[in-house]
């Protein structure tokens, strides 16, 4: 079994201080079901503390009232080699988050591109070594994949999502290391499955039970893989590959259709 080495990461997160579900833009969101902001905060705090315990640097963006989904920082941008591709959201409920995240970066001296095409940040644009795996079908447009490739300077591989429950790429696929991924094959169309099989013949394949507890909405530092604790079978598969899975409870945030990766935007200098 190959030895695994963690690389310290730099993340951006947003406390769910205004968390609620008062609109529905994915099948997980039911505004009729009450949410509990304190529970969301307590669960999120555990994740925040865990990243720091593992030696990662976490920066925070101020949560804005009236933007309950702002906790899902992964959607706020895509950051590669110090370049920030801003986000442009599909639905009006989240539109204002794009400029809010872009301002955070500009205020700190980062170079930010205001996107021309709809892209929901690392929700659909996952950096895997020298390439970017890019989702489309529900949120991010394929034209945004070309925009990401030219601005970020990495080869972009388009993958089409077909199951509305897995509406962002990061709900169906996670990058474990530069050249290792895990994914749920039925979330993709046949052509994309063929691409994934060719590029990643040794990928960890997640079953339906793992996918539906958002097991793929995970963050890896190359050795530790933080994932929803309910994904016990997937954790076992990761352990067999030499990773250290660490389960966390983010079930309150799952009511909005998000978990570990959704809360975490990686900042790559
Ligand atoms: N309610 C949010 C939405 O539907 C959840 C976003 C989850 N983020 C993610 N990276 N998958 O847009």
Closest residue by Cα to atom 8, ligand 1, is 262
Burial state string for 69-91 with b = 16 or more CB within 10 A and e = fewer than 16: bbbbbbbbbbbbeebbbbbbbbe
Pocket of ligand 1 (CB under 6 A): 25-26, 29, 69, 72, 74-75, 94, 123, 168, 170-171, 256-258, 262
Give the residue, out of 127, 262, 263, 266, with the most ligand 1 atoms within 8 A of its beta carbon, to mutate for a pocket test: 262
pLDDT (tens digit per residue) in 127-156:
999 999 999 999 999 999 999 999 999 999
Mutate to test the pocket of ligand 1, among 258, 260, 263 (most ligand atoms within 8 A of CB): 258
pLDDT tens, 50-74?
A: 999 999 999 999 999 999 999 999 9
Q: Whose Cα sits closest to atom 7 in ligand 1?
A: 258
Burial class (CB in 10 A: 0-12, 13-18, 19+), 207: middle
Residue 22 — very low, low, confident or very high, per pLDDT cuts 50/70/90? Answer: very high
Give pLDDT tens digits for 108-122: 999 999 999 999 999
Say yes or no to pLDDT of 265 above 90.
yes
Looking at domain 10-266, its CATH architecture is 5-stranded Propeller (3.75)
Token pair for residue 239?
Answer: 């352990």
Where does the pLDDT of residue 3 fall: very low under 50, low under 70, confident under 90, or very high at 90 and above? Answer: confident
Q: What is the mean pLDDT of residues 240-245?
A: 98
pTM given for the model = 0.97
Is the ipTM beyond the 0.90 threshold? yes
Question: Side-chain half-sphere of 126: how many Cα atoms within 13 Å?
Answer: 32
Q: Check: CB of residue 247 under 8 Å from CB of residue 231.
A: yes
Domain boundaries, the chain: 10-266
Q: Report whether pLDDT(205) > 70.
A: yes
123 Cα nearest atom in ligand 1: 10
Residues 26 and 172 sit within 8 Å (Cβ to Cβ): no
% the chain with pLDDT above 70: 99
DSSP class of residue 164 equals: T
Measured CA to CA, the distance from residue 171 to residue 260 in angstroms comes to 10
Alpha-carbon distances, residue 4 vs 176, 177, 195, 224, 246 (angstroms): 11, 9, 26, 9, 15
Q: What distance in Å separates the CA atoms of residue 255 and residue 69, rounded to the nearest whole number?
A: 11
pLDDT over 80 at 208, yes or no:
yes
């Amino acid at each position: 079994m190959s030895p695994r080495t963690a690389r310290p990461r730099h993340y951006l997160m947003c406390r769910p201080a205004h968390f609620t579900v008062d609109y529905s833009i994915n099948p997980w969101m039911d505004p009729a079901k009450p949410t509990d902001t304190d529970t969301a905060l307590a669960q999120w705090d555990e994740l925040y503390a865990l990243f720091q315990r593992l030696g990662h640097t976490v920066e925070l963006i101020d949560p804005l009232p009236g933007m309950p989904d702002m906790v899902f920082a992964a959607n706020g941008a895509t950051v590669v080699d110090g370049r920030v591709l801003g986000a442009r959201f599909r639905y009006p409920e989240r539109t204002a988050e794009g400029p809010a995240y872009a301002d955070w970066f500009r205020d700190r001296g980062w170079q930010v591109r205001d996107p021309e095409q709809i892209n929901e940040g690392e929700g659909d644009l996952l950096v895997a070594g020298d390439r970017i795996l890019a989702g489309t079908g529900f949120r991010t447009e394929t034209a945004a994949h070309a925009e990401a490739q030219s601005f970020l300077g990495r080869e972009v591989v388009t993958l089409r999502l077909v199951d509305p429950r897995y509406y962002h790429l990061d709900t169906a696929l996670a990058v474990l290391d530069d050249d290792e991924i895990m994914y749920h094959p039925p979330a993709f169309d046949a052509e994309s499955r063929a691409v994934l099989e060719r590029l990643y013949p040794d990928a960890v394949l997640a079953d339906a039970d793992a996918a539906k507890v958002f097991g793929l909405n995970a963050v890896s530092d190359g050795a530790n893989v933080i994932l929803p604790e309910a994904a016990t079978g997937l954790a076992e598969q990761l352990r067999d590959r030499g990773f250290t899975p660490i389960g966390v409870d983010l079930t309150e945030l799952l009511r909005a259709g998000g978990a570990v990766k959704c809360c975490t935007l990686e900042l790559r200098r």
